[in-house]
Amino acid sequence: MSVAEPRRIVIFRHAKADWPQVTDHERPLAERGRMDAAEAGRRLADTAIPFDLALCSTAVRTRETWKLAVHEFQHRPKTVYEERIYEASPGELIAVLNETPDDVQNLLLIGHNPGAQGLAEVLAGSAEGDARDRMNRRGFPAAAFAVLTFSGTWKTLEPGVATLVDYWAPSE
């Protein structure tokens, strides 16, 4: 694999969570969230991106979202549950992504808002296009995902270096 080949990052927000009397970290998915997570998994599988690695927040709702989504994939990527993704800012998420090994070409990050949307916006910079228009209109609702590409190593990932090439949200 050459670093000249564009790398792909998919930023995937967890599906709709329920609000039982538990800590925020322990909140499970709502029924609608379970349906949307599976649908997002089908949509991610339709992209045919061969994911090498999935980085998932340790929160219950992100782990449940990933379990339901990855069930739709033909190939399950290596999954790392990363506690630093929970409540992370876009800058903190970039720092986590900068640690990705160079043999990873396509990465999926399963996280939370406002960090997920902020990360997609910061990486894409001032780019325009259909995917950006849809993301600007819809925001980054539960179970939404953005697909970005960039060239270079993971250590060089920084604001504005990526291109937003696709966006999906439930009811898109």
Say what the pLDDT of residue 102 is: 94
58 CB-near residues (< 8 Å, 6+ apart): 25, 81, 82, 83, 85, 86
What span, in angstroms and rounded, lies between the C-alpha atoms of 152 and 142?
A: 30
Say what the pLDDT of residue 4 is: 63
Cα 161 to chain centroid, rounded:
17
The CATH homologous superfamily for domain 7-168 is Phosphoglycerate mutase-like (3.40.50.1240)
Cα–Cα distance list, 43 to 26, 71, 125 (Å): 26, 12, 25
Buried b (16+ CB within 10 A) or exposed e, 51-85: bbbbbbbebbbbbbbbbbbbebbeeebebeebeeb
What's the pTM value of the predicted model, to 2 decimals? 0.95
Give the model confidence (pLDDT) of 1-38 as tens digits.
444 689 999 999 999 999 999 999 999 999 999 999 99
Give the model confidence (pLDDT) of 39-67 as tens digits.
999 999 999 999 999 999 999 999 999 99
